[in-house]
C-alpha cells in the first residue's frame, strides 16, 4: 500500500474525516465562487451534521459543467491554476477541469495508491499508452509512477510496433492503457510474429471504457498478465478515483478523497448498498473544480464497505456496467449521435439520413457511419473521416450511399444500431 494508514482507516474515523472535508469543500466553494455558492443558498457547512445530510444538497450534472465553460464554476483564482484537462461534450463544448498545484498533488497521491494496489513498485517499468494531452490519462499515470519511483516509458498512444519493441527493449513490466488497446497490441504482435510470452510484462492497468469480464480474461491469457480495472473521469480530477486490488473483488474508491452514493437514475433517490444505480461522486479534496453530488451516469453498485482481504477499508464498487443515457462511447471517447450529425450536415453534398453502427469486432470497438450523399466521391468520405477524427478523437469508417439506401422507419428515426460482431 502507498498510504497504509489512510487506506485502512476504520470506517468510523473515515466518515469523520469525510464529514470534515465535505464541510471544508462547501466552505471553499462559498468563499471562492458566488455563482456556484448559489446552489447551496440558505445552508451553512456546519448545517451538515452527518454524512446523510449530503442528501440535502442538489446534484450537479455534466450539462451544467459544460454550460460553465470554461471557468464559471472554477473555485480558485486563475493565477492559481497550473493546467486543465477536458472531456468531450455534446456540442463541441467540452467540460474543463482546471487544476491547482494542490489538485495535481492530490491526483499524484491517488494514482500512486492505484499503482501500488496493482502491485507496482520502484522496480517496475511502466509503459504509459494513454495520451499526454487534453485528456487526462497519460499525466495521471505519470504522476503516480513518479511518486512510487517506477521507470516510466512515456510513449503515449498508437505506434503499436514501437510499443512492442519498447516492451521488449526496456523490459516493460506493466502496461497502462484504455481497455481496448491491449487487443490491438495482441493482434499486431500476432501479425508480426512477436512472442509476447518472451517479455517481462506482468501487469496491465486498464480503464476508460466498459470492458467485459470475457475480454478481460482474453487479455490476461494472451498477454500472460494480471489486469486491474481503474476508474476515474476528467470531472472528478482524472483517472484514479479507484481501482481493484489483488483480491479482484470490486473497485476500491479512495473515500478520503471522494464520497460516493448510488442513486436511482430516474428519481435521484438514494439506493441502499448492493443495489444497482447511478454513481454519484462528491469530491472532498479538489480545489479547482470541486464537485458536490456529481451525476456520473455510470451504472454500478456498492459491493461492500467492509474490510477487504487486502486490508483496505475503502468501499468497493462493482465494475462499471454502462451509462444511463444515450451517450455513445467508442475507443475511449464519449460522444452523442448529434455530434456526428453536425459534422455530416455541414457538407452540402450530404443528405440527412444516416446510421451509426457500433459494436465489437474481434473484441475491439468498431464504428461505421452509413450516410446518404449526392456524391459518392472518395475524397468526401476521407474528409468526413478526418473531421470526425479531429472533432471527436476516434477513427470511424464512413460509408457513402446513394439516396434511399438507409431503411426508413415509422416514427422516430433510428440513428444508432448496436451490433454484436465477433
Single out the residue of 103, 102, 126 nearest to residue 114, CA to CA. 126
Q: How far is the CB of 116 from Zn ion (least distance, A)?
A: 12
* CB-nearer residue toward Zn ion: 310 or 370: 310
Cα-Cα-Cα-Cα torsion 3, 8, 14, 17, nearest 10 degrees, comes to -20
Residues lying near Zn ion in the complex (CB under 5 A) are found at 245, 247, 308, 310, 312
* CB-nearer residue toward Zn ion: 243 or 343: 243
Sign, CA torsion 245/248/251/255: negative
State the cell numbers at 266: 430516474
* CB-nearer residue toward Zn ion: 244 or 278: 244
How far apart CA 279 and CA 301 sit, in angstroms, is 8
Q: What is the DSSP letter of 160?
A: H
Q: How far is the CB of 241 from Zn ion (least distance, A)?
A: 15
Q: How far is the CB of 48 from Zn ion (least distance, A)?
A: 29
* CB-nearer residue toward Zn ion: 312 or 381: 312
CB 328 within 8 A of CB 416: yes
Q: How far is the CB of 121 from Zn ion (least distance, A)?
A: 17
Q: Is 339 helix (H, G, I), strand (E, B) or coil?
A: helix
Single out the residue of 210, 179, 180 nearest to residue 321, CA to CA. 210
Q: How far is the CB of 114 from Zn ion (least distance, A)?
A: 12
C-beta contacts of 383-390 below 8 A and 24+ residues apart:
383/347, 384/343, 384/344, 384/347, 384/350, 387/343, 388/340, 388/343
Write the CB contacts of 204 (distance below 8 Å, at least 6 apart in sequence): 174, 175, 176, 177, 182, 219, 220, 223, 225, 226, 227, 228
Q: How far is the CB of 14 from Zn ion (least distance, A)?
A: 15
Distance from chain centroid for Cα 405: 36
* CB-nearer residue toward Zn ion: 222 or 226: 226
Q: How far is the CB of 298 from Zn ion (least distance, A)?
A: 20
Q: How far is the CB of 293 from Zn ion (least distance, A)?
A: 26
* CB-nearer residue toward Zn ion: 271 or 310: 310
* CB-nearer residue toward Zn ion: 315 or 380: 315
* CB-nearer residue toward Zn ion: 89 or 242: 242
Measured between alpha carbons, how far is residue 178 from residues 50, 210, 249, 342 in Å?
37, 10, 21, 27
Amino acid at each position: 500500500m502507498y498510504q497504509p494508514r489512510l487506506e485502512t482507516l476504520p470506517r468510523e474515523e473515515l466518515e469523520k474525516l469525510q464529514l470534515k472535508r465535505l464541510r471544508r469543500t462547501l466552505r471553499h466553494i462559498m468563499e471562492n465562487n458566488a455563482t456556484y455558492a448559489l446552489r447551496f443558498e440558505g445552508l451553512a457547512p456546519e448545517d451538515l451534521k452527518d454524512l446523510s445530510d449530503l442528501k440535502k444538497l442538489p446534484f450537479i450534472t455534466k450539462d451544467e459543467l459544460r454550460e460553465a465553460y470554461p471557468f464559471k464554476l472554477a473555485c480558485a483564482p486563475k493565477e492559481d491554476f497550473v493546467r486543465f484537462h477536458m472531456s468531450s461534450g455534446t456540442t463541441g463544448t467540452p467540460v474543463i477541469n482546471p487544476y491547482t498545484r494542490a489538485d495535481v498533488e492530490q491526483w499524484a497521491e491517488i494514482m500512486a495508491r492505484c499503482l501500488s494496489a496493482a502491485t507496482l513498485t520502484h522496480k517496475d517499468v511502466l509503459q504509459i499508452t494513454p495520451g499526454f494531452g487534453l485528456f487526462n490519462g497519460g499525466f495521471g499515470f505519470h504522476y503516480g509512477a513518479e511518486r512510487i519511483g517506477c521507470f516510466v516509458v512515456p510513449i503515449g498512444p498508437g505506434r503499436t510496433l514501437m510499443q512492442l519493441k519498447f516492451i521488449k527493449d526496456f523490459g516493460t513490466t506493466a502496461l497502462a492503457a484504455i481497455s481496448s488497446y491491449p487487443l490491438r497490441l495482441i493482434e499486431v504482435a500476432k501479425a508480426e510474429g512477436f512472442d509476447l510470452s518472451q517479455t517481462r510484462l506482468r501487469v496491465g492497468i486498464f480503464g476508460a471504457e466498459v470492458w467485459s469480464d470475457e475480454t478481460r480474461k482474453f487479455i490476461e491469457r494472451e498477454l500472460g498478465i494480471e489486469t486491474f480495472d481503474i476508474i476515474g473521469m476528467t470531472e472528478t480530477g482524472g483517472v484514479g478515483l479507484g481501482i481493484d486490488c489483488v483480491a479482484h473483488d470490486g473497485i476500491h474508491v479512495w473515500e478520503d478523497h471522494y464520497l460516493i452514493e448510488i442513486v436511482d437514475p430516474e428519481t435521484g433517490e438514494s439506493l441502499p448498498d448492493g443495489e444497482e444505480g447511478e454513481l454519484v461522486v462528491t469530491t472532498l479534496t479538489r480545489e479547482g473544480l470541486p464537485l458536490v453530488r456529481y451525476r456520473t451516469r455510470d451504472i454500478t453498485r456498492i459491493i461492500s464497505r467492509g474490510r477487504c482481504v487486502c486490508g483496505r477499508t475503502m468501499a468497493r464498487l462493482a465494475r462499471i456496467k454502462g451509462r444511463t443515457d444515450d451517450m455513445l462511447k467508442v475507443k475511449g471517447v464519449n460522444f452523442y449521435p448529434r455530434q456526428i450529425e453536425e459534422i455530416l450536415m455541414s457538407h452540402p453534398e450530404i443528405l440527412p439520413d444516416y446510421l451509426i453502427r457500433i459494436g465489437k469486432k474481434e473484441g475491439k470497438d468498431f464504428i461505421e457511419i452509413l450516410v446518404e450523399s449526392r456524391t459518392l466521391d472518395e475524397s468526401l468520405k476521407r474528409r468526413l473521416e478526418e473531421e470526425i477524427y479531429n472533432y471527436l478523437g476516434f477513427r470511424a469508417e464512413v460509408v457513402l450511399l446513394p439516396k434511399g439506401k438507409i431503411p426508413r422507419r415509422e416514427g422516430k428515426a433510428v440513428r444508432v444500431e448496436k451490433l454484436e460482431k465477433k
